[in-house]
Chains A and B, each alone.
Chain A
Amino acid sequence: MNLPDIEHITQDLAEQVSELISERQLDNPLLVGIRTGGVWVAERLNDTLKCADDVATLDISFYRDDFTRHGLHPKVQGSELPDSIEDRHIILIDDVIMSGRTIRAAMNELFDYGRPASITLICLLDIGRRELPIQPDLCGATLALNDGQLVKLTGPRPLVLTLA
């Protein structure tokens, strides 16, 4: 299977996000990357977007709905968000969306920090297999994988996509 050129779609995605921000009039947006791949993608998008705040990071380990099945992630690094996200326009960024459970956990965590004005979801890759009614506002590329196949992003620079 041919994997897309990640560097190329990241650049395209940055331009689309920029247009979406002006279209929706998202004033002073806050980029929030989900550890680990989402943070790399967010950093890359911010090269183009140049938001006022640094990219914030969200570690959803304490919010996973599969804790009782998988246990605690061995390397929890914690979230780093500004003191207040109250009334902020959040651009939530992840590398790969599949079941949608990570995004649900991320939104639960965000609301424990405050009540954002809006959340816009950006994913670099959508590999389908959704289990929850959650769809990204924008995604860089959609991949149809075979059963049991997964993709893995390594980074941060360069971003490289491999089949896992």
Chain B
Amino acid sequence: MTDPNTVQLTEDGRLKHFLTTEGLSRELLTEILDTADSFISTQERAVKTVPLLRGKTVVNLFFENSTRTRSTFELAAKRLSADILNLDIARSATSKGETLMDTLWNLEAMYSDMFVVRHSDSGAAHFIAEQVTPNVAIINAGDGRHAHPTQAMLDMLTIRRHKGDIEGKIVAIVGDILHSRVARSQIHALRTLGAAEVRVIGPGTLLPSDIESMGAVPYYDMKAGLADCDVVIMLRLQKERMQNALLPSEGEFFKLYGLTEEKLAFAKPDAIVMHPGPINRGVEIESAVADGNQSVILNQVSYGIAVRMAVMAMAMSGQQTPVNSEEPA
């Protein structure tokens, strides 16, 4: 497969698709966060829409189930004034035997401007980005175990807004790292944005063997792993991905790695607790922590809309050929 950055960036280094956080520059990631910050201010107004993508058609192309991600993409598109079409592919033409490319060509024939793609195959969004006609932007909303870049960026925005900066922070990601596209995208973004240390905590069977080459430090014990952490990111135990016996039981997992108030006390007293959702209460996180005052889980959802607005606006903008840089007054 070609280098994702030759696919997702324009010749002058602007975003035209958003496929992965891997290999993107610190400047570009910061630009995404800055743009999202300005969209947060528009979300707090009585009128939440801005006219940026008026007349554009965005298609939510979800080959895998999702409620939160799909609905925040839908809201983001609507708040940019785009028209949005939700396609539940799992229950539509593909299940009648239409191939992926036939589905795409049909949607292109409807003059779509952007596809938001979730697929269970790693690399699906990348493949589609290489196949679509020019001027159609692809946003990866999660592909297999590979990447979930908008989730990672909304997590970066959450850390930046609650801890001031990502630079110098110690961040622990806890749970099923092996099956987590979120963790992969987070690790790349955290390393690029200057986190002092990225730790992954979990049982050996749920940590990928190449984790250290990604720049993360593995821990098998919560006490050691959470010590001095500024940010604790809990991952959902992905029951639907766990076909093999990688864990003795959910109860055992909660005992060792479930985030309780006692375990959270190992981290810094002002550490924030994050979770991409949906949370399994009593499996990876106890209610007292999920609903406690260190939890920023619901803030993450709000920031998710702003980050998705930013990425959609930037990618749509990257699809345009700049006329000239001078701005008429």
Contact = CB atoms under 8 A, between A and B. Distances in A.
B320 interface: yes
A62 B51 contact: yes
Contact of B41 (A68, A69, A75, A79): A79
B320 A62 contact: no
B45 A113 contact: yes
B326 interface: yes
A48 interface: no
A68 B320 contact: yes
Interface string B37-54: 111011001110111100
A72 B317 contact: yes
Interface residues of B, number: 29
Contacts of B41: 78-80
A74 B14 CA distance: 9
A112 B45 contact: yes
Contact of B328 (A62, A71, A78, A101): A101
Interface string A61-104: 11100111111111111111000000000000011111101100
A12 B217 CA distance: 64
A46 B311 CA distance: 37
A99 B31 contact: no
B203 interface: no
B318 interface: yes
Interface string B120-137: 000000000000000000
Interface of B: 14, 31, 34-35, 37-39, 41-42, 45-47, 49-52, 313-314, 317-318, 320, 322-329
Interface of A: 59, 61-63, 66-80, 94-99, 101-102, 108-109, 112-114, 127, 131, 150
Given A80-B41, A113-B45, 11 more contacts: A62-B51, A62-B313, A70-B323, A71-B322, A72-B35, A77-B38, A78-B38, A79-B38, A97-B329, A112-B46, A150-B326
